[in-house]
Each structure stands twice: as C-alpha cells, then as structure tokens.
C-alpha cells in the first residue's frame, strides 16, 4: 500500500492547523474575544452559501467557497494585516506568494497548483467569484463591529470616510448587500459608533 500521496495530504492537514492561532483584530459578535482565521474562514464560507443569491453576476459558488476556506492560509507565514493598517500594503506581497508556494506546496503537485491558482484569483479580485468572495470578507467584520458598538472602528479611531472607502468593495460583489451595508454604516455614524 503506497501512502505517499496521502501522507503529503496529511502533512498539509497538520500544517494548516496553525491558522487557528492567527488572531484577527476584529472580535466575535457581541464579544471581547478576537476571532481567529479558521473561525473567520468558516464563517465566510457559510455567509457565501446563504448570500450567493445576491451576487451581481452568476457565480460558481463552490469556487467561491474554496477561495474563502483557503484565503487566509498564507497568513501562517505572512501574518494577518489589519484592514485599516496604512503602513503595510494589503496587496499581494512577495511574502504571501512565498507562503502560498510553501504551504500549498506540501500537497501533491496537481492539488498545490490548483489551490495556488484559486488563491491568486481571490487576491486579484477580478473575476465574479473573487469579487463576491471579497465582498464576504469585508461584510463579516462590519456586522461584527455593529454588534460590538463600533468595535475596531472605535478602538482604532477609523473615520467614516475610510470605512466607506474600504467597505465599498462589497459593491463589486453585490450592489444589494452594499446598499444594506451602507445603511448600517450610516446608522453607525448617527448612533455615534463611528465618527467623521
């Protein structure tokens, strides 16, 4: 019995456990506890599952869910970067590409290549699937901040215009969800969770 391929897959399964230790800045709903990348990825996958009907374009939902399940694996090596961090670039850095090659590279070659392509597609944000996946990634922390009386907006003094700018990416995936999100952001301003 030749377990060579399976052993590579098990090594990958073991390695990605580290995602559970990567803490985001955002906190769980109505909570003081920060969310980790594994919890975040699971939640986004389920959000895509129930919200896909609101996508601007027809999408391959399974591909969206694959993207969301793997999108933060590179942070095992490259770390989490806060959305409102102005010093560090959010673009596809050299460190993240090296991380993708190392981590997905644990898998048999055909699987590694497939997942690297999906991750690159997510990062580029140009296809219908990646636009919708990225909309989910921006929508979840907005809901969390709303439930935490402002959350990271208050904690890091993020002004209204910056939130609108960063969350506007939701519109590329779903005009409809963006209308709802914009209303939440405007309500947050009125209620003092968010400042000008």
- Interface residues toward a second copy, by CB under 8 A: 1, 3, 6, 9-10, 12-14, 16-17, 19-20, 28-29, 35-36, 38-39, 41-43, 45-47, 49-51, 54, 61-62, 65-66, 69-70, 107, 111, 140, 143, 147, 176-177, 179-180
**Neighbouring C-alpha atoms within 13 Å toward the C-beta of 7:** 4
Pick 99 or 107: Cβ nearer a second copy: 107
What is the smallest separation between the CB atom of 89 and a second copy, expressed in angstroms?
27
Pick 177 or 194: Cβ nearer a second copy: 177
What is the smallest separation between the CB atom of 102 and a second copy, expressed in angstroms?
16
Burial classification of residue 9, based on how many CB atoms lie within 10 Å of its CB (0-12 exposed, 13-18 middle, 19 or more buried): middle
Q: Give the single-character DSSP code of 90.
A: -
**Helices first, then strands: H and E counts in the chain:** 11, 2
Pick 13 or 124: Cβ nearer a second copy: 13
Rg (the chain; Cα; Å): 17
Token code pair at residue 34: 């920060």
Pick 34 or 93: Cβ nearer a second copy: 34
Token code pair at residue 164: 């609108």
């Amino acid at each position: 019995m030749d377990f060579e391929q399976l052993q590579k897959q098990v090594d990958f399964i073991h390695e990605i456990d580290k995602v559970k230790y990567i803490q985001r800045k955002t906190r769980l709903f109505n909570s003081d506890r920060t969310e980790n990348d594994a919890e975040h990825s699971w939640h986004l996958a389920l959000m895509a599952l129930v919200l896909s009907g609101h996508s601007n374009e027809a999408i391959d939902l399974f591909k969206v869910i694959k993207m969301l399940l793997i999108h933060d694996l590179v942070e095992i090596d490259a770390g989490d970067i806060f959305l409102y961090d102005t010093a560090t670039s959010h673009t596809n850095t050299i460190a993240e590409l090296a991380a993708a090659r190392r981590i997905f590279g644990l898998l048999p070659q055909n699987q590694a290549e497939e997942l690297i392509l999906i991750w690159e597609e997510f990062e580029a944000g140009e296809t219908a699937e990646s636009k919708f996946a990225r909309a989910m990634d921006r929508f979840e922390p907005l809901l969390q901040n709303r439930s935490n009386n402002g959350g990271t907006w208050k904690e890091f003094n993020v002004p209204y215009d910056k939130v609108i700018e960063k969350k506007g990416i939701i519109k590329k995936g779903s005009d409809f969800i963006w209308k709802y999100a914009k209303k939440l952001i405007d309500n947050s301003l009125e209620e003092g969770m968010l400042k000008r």
